[in-house]
DNA sequence: ACTATATATCTTAGTTCTGAGAGACATATC
DNA sequence: GATATGTCTCTCAGAACTAAGATATATAGT
């Protein structure tokens, strides 16, 4: 094997490392890849705004999501919250611990299942979410205002279907219910 | 065997402590909030698949994004890669270090600016991305196939505009001027 | 009742990344 | 040429998680 220097690109057509390989795929593949890219970028861009907004109140995005869920849905089992906001089981313990430490949430026993715990807002937590939610919602409205209302609804519709089909297309390890 | 999966809502829970406060906002606000939710969920669902796919080759999502960018665009300055994949400045150093340790990427000096470094694929890195990219692209195509081609293009179009407008809408820089 | 398996949460160790700042270099202005 | 200011990468501390296993409890089959 000969070690090649980067400077001696001349007569040889073997693709050297560091040279570009423009994307050459079918239109279907290209559309799928592009959708994945713009989906990630749009989510990151919106997320950055939302994250910065809740950070002003000393909260992370995930913490806020928990508070909001508990406010709008009422007390929930930790596992329910976990599946709703999509974190690991260790993650939900960690997050609820932190919200308890901040005095915003409390754990409550579940009378019908002694393994389970409810997470519920404290009065302080409820007061906080009630106080910051309106400006928060207005801010999200501004951030997505690059699309008008019908476009937002159409995008939401498409994304909902995309999310559902992607979530249910469990590739491996999950039972493939072959009936 | 009846592997019965418990659905989220089938626990017979008596409405214990925290009471629910159903969402009551204007249709505009509701559309914006819903868009934000389905955007996050769709991204997470697709991301989980892509992440699991590249993990089979010992790579994280971010590492793969770097390799792919270097393969398709050629060598790039670290700062260019950083802005492209949206990580912090410390993050790009960390990630490139790790890819260098894996033998997939190398740093190269920039002749016109001695502060800057290029990241470039090694031959091994290029061989790897060439080997795994086709199946990777096919997998993404499958994951987003819940939408047909015109729908994918429409979603991509909407998301591109959403991403751009969200990214450019400078958050009212909440510097709080010494609050 | 006993056993096996499933579920709910928690613990621990480790991974991935961020944010603030430092050092080296570049560039514009005087 | 000297100085100020901006840019690029790197370092370091630590935040925000995840993965895997531990523990306690529940539930179904025998």
pLDDT, tens digit, 9 for 90 and up, residues B129-141: 999 999 999 999 9
Residues of A with Cβ-Cβ distance to B33 under 8 angstroms: 137, 140
H-run or E-run covering A164: helix A149-168
Average pLDDT over residues A122-139: 96
Strand D bases with any atom < 7 A from protein Cβ: 6-13, 15-21, 24-27, 29
Provide the number of CB pairs (under 8 Å) joining chain A to chain B: 252
Nearest residue to B138 (alpha-carbon basis) of A174, A176, A25, A39: A25
> What pLDDT is attached to residue A175?
34
Residues of B with Cβ-Cβ distance to A123 under 8 angstroms: none
Strand C bases with any atom < 7 A from protein Cβ: 6-13, 15-21, 23-27
Average pLDDT over residues B122-148: 96
> What pLDDT is attached to residue A171?
53
> What pLDDT is attached to residue A19?
86
Minimal Cβ distance to A38: which of B36, B146, B156: B156
Closest nucleotide (CA of B76 to C1')?
Answer: D8
* Long-range CB contact pairs, A164-173, < 8 A, 24+: A164/B45, A164/B146, A165/B145, A165/B146, A165/B147, A166/B42, A166/B45, A166/B46, A166/B49, A166/B143, A166/B144, A166/B146, A167/B41, A167/B45, A169/B49, A169/B142, A169/B143, A169/B146, A171/B49, A171/B52, A171/B53, A171/B139, A172/B52
* pLDDT of residue B179 exceeding 70: no
Closest nucleotide (CA of B3 to C1')?
Answer: C6
CA atoms within 13 A of residue B65's CA, in its CB half-sphere: 21
Contact B99, B71 (CB under 8 A): no
> What pLDDT is attached to residue B170?
64
Cα dihedral sign, A140-A144-A150-A155:
negative
Distance CA B157, CA A165 (A): 20
Residue given tokens 């989220």 in the structure block: B8
> What pLDDT is attached to residue B71?
97
For an interface test with B, which of A12, A14, A42 has the most B Cβ atoms less than 10 Å from its Cβ? A42
B95/D6 CA-to-C1' distance in Å? 25
Distance CA A91, CA A107 (A): 15
Q: What is the mean pLDDT of chain B?
A: 87
Distance CA B87, CA A10 (A): 36
Strand A76-77 with A117-121, pairing: antiparallel
Identify the band that residue A145 occupies on the pLDDT scale cut at 50, 70 and 90: very high
Distance CA B37, CA B29 (A): 12
Distance CA A98, CA B120 (A): 42
């Amino acid at each position: 094997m000969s070690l090649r220097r980067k400077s001696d690109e001349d007569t040889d057509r073997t693709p050297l490392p560091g040279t570009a390989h423009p994307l050459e795929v079918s239109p279907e593949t290209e559309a799928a890849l592009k959708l994945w890219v713009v989906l990630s970028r749009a989510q990151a861009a919106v997320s950055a705004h939302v994250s910065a907004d809740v950070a002003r109140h000393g909260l992370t995005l995930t913490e806020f999501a928990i508070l909001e869920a508990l406010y709008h849905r009422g007390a929930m089992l930790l596992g329910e919250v976990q599946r709703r906001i999509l974190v690991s089981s260790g993650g939900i313990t960690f997050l609820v611990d932190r919200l308890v430490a901040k005095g915003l949430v409390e754990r409550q026993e579940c009378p019908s299942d002694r393994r389970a715990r409810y997470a519920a807002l404290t009065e302080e937590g409820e007061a906080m979410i009630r106080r910051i939610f309106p400006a928060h919602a207005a801010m999200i409205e501004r951030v997505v205002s690059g699309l008008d209302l019908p476009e937002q609804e159409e995008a939401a519709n498409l994304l909902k279907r995309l999310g559902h089909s992607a979530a249910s297309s469990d590739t491996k390890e999950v039972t493939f219910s072959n009936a």
